[in-house]
Amino acid sequence: MRIDEFFADGYKNLRNAKICPCDRVNLIYGQNAQGKTNLLEAIGLFSGEDRFHLKSAKKIAFGRDVANLRLKFSDLEREQTARAILSQKNQFFLNEVPIKRVSEIYENFNAVCFSPASLSIIQGDSRIRRKFLDDAIAKLKPGYLKYCKQYEKILAHRNFLLKSSGLKSFKTLEVWNEKMAQVGTIITMIRQDYVEKMSKVLASLYQEISGGREPLEIKYESTVFDRKLKNIYSEDDFREYIEKLELFQSADFDMGHTKIGIHRDDLAFKLGGLGAREYGSQGQQRSCVIALKLAQAKLFELICRRNPVILLDDVMSELDVDRQAYILNQIQGSQIFITCCETLIPRSFKNAKIYKMEDGKVYVY
């Protein structure tokens, strides 16, 4: 997977910003607030990692009504074009054909993004970790997000009944319990399988990045199941999910919402047996997330036999030369975009194509 050309105008401070990147390392440097992060963020929008912001008017430059984004990309099979016209009513195009589901772009363009905001995967609440997990899985299983959206609708219906029912009628929830258990079991099975595969890659990467100081473990924490499900849908798992919903049903009526389910599950990170969120230092947490993103890219490559595009925003400047070289070596074969503030180009990037950002415009160095 590679980007052949990218253009952005009216997105935050970007003004007719156009790049034709090389196949390997593309370094974007400049002073603060010149548009480096905005450029990578705009590219990342096409990957689906920041779906909310495609609907946000705050992404459009002050004084403008429209932002235009255009991405030309290719893989081993073909060249494609994706466009987004962001306004009060967003429009999306894939190969110049209007599309109703922007997820069609996500299914075709694959990128893994790291920025300082990615630290929220460790530091933030469980919703952020579930979103990371669902986005990562969706890159491997295009139909997976349909299950997630289906579950959200079922959850909304069930919660509506819990809040609006004057009587605690368990009978009225039977149909929604069954629907929730069916979809929830499938999502749990898929999530657990992904985390199991991810953990094997992640542990090795973190050991290298951290200098082998302590082991990193990840575990999927289900609010329904206390065991690993098989990769085949089971009627027994389905029934166990229903039984757990029924067990908490009285409490659900009292609280007015569904207490357990895949919308409450979490992804736990442990360093040397201790929670990374509670006990990890800023440096340890940063190394965890960098390793996590590299593992995501590596897993995509192993499963799909393709290299995703790698977007690294403000990550290399805090690493020594040896760690920079290690990270670049781990994503060998991928097209990489890196931002930094330094005008002195590190030795690791001596063969990179270099761009300078200034006041929202891009200049080839």
What confidence tens digit (pLDDT) does each residue in 94-113 have? 999 999 877 788 888 999 99
CB 92 within 8 A of CB 83: yes
Residues 284 and 311 in one domain: no
Q: How confident is the prediction for the chain on average, in pLDDT?
A: 88
Residues 278 and 156 in one domain: yes
pLDDT given at position 216? 93
pLDDT given at position 345? 59
Neighbours of 255 (CB within 10 A): 13
Contacting residues for 187 by C-beta, under 8 A, at least 6 apart: 147, 148, 151, 262
Residue 67 inside a domain? The answer is yes
Torsion sign over Cα 137, 143, 149, 155:
negative
CB 338 within 8 A of CB 25: yes
pLDDT given at position 244? 96
Residue 105 inside a domain? The answer is yes
Give 269-294 pLDDT, tens digit per residue. Answer: 999 999 999 999 888 898 899 999 99
Residues 290 and 331 in one domain: no
Residue 173 inside a domain? The answer is yes
pLDDT over 70 (residue 259): yes
CB 353 within 8 A of CB 25: yes
Domain boundary among 304, 327, 353: 304
Name the more confident of 349 and 164. Answer: 164
Residues 89 and 139 in one domain: no
Most confidently modeled range among 139-148, 207-216, 258-267, 320-329: 258-267
Q: CB-based burial of residue 163 (10 Å sphere; 0-12 exposed, 13-18 middle, 19+ buried)? A: exposed
pLDDT given at position 51? 47
Side-chain-side CA neighbours of residue 208 (13 Å): 18
How many structural domains are present in the chain?
2
Residues 125 and 173 in one domain: yes
pLDDT over 70 (residue 90): yes
Residue 78 inside a domain? The answer is yes
Instruction: State the angle between helix axes of 235-247 and 174-210 in degrees (0 to 180), rounded to the nearest 10.
Output: 100
Residues 263 and 331 in one domain: no
Contacting residues for 34 by C-beta, under 8 A, at least 6 apart: 13, 357, 358, 359, 360
Residues 96 and 16 in one domain: yes
Residues 168 and 259 in one domain: yes
Question: Domain of 204?
Answer: 120-304
Percentage of the chain with pLDDT > 70? 92
Name the more confident of 324 and 238. Answer: 238
Residues 134-160 have a mean pLDDT of 92
Residues 94 and 167 in one domain: no
Residue 180 inside a domain? The answer is yes
Give 167-223 pLDDT, tens digit per residue. Answer: 566 677 899 999 999 999 999 999 999 999 999 899 999 988 887 778 999 999 999
Report d(CA 260, CA 78) in Å as an integer.
Answer: 44
Residues 62 and 126 in one domain: no
Helix (H, G, I), strand (E, B) or coil at 334: coil
Residues 330-352 have a mean pLDDT of 75
pLDDT given at position 49? 67
Residue 60 DSSP code: B
Query: DSSP string covering 134-178, please?
Result: HHHHHHH-TTHHHHHHHHHHHHHHHHHHHHH-SS--GGGGHHHHH
> In this structure, what CATH number is given to the domain that contains residue 220?
1.20.1050.90
Residues 234 and 332 in one domain: no
Lowest mean per-residue pLDDT among 28-42, 113-127, 344-358: 344-358
User: Per residue in 279-313, is it b (16+ CB within 10 Å) or e — as a string?
Assistant: ebeeebbbbbbbbbbbbbbbbbbeeeeebbbbbbb
Domain boundary among 304, 319, 354: 304
Residue 284 inside a domain? The answer is yes
> In this structure, what CATH number is given to the domain that contains residue 54?
3.40.50.300
Domain boundary among 288, 304, 320: 304
Binned at pLDDT 50, 70 and 90, residue 79 comes out as: very high
Residue 287 inside a domain? The answer is yes
Residues 183 and 321 in one domain: no
Helix (H, G, I), strand (E, B) or coil at 102: coil
Residue 115 inside a domain? The answer is no
pLDDT given at position 52? 40
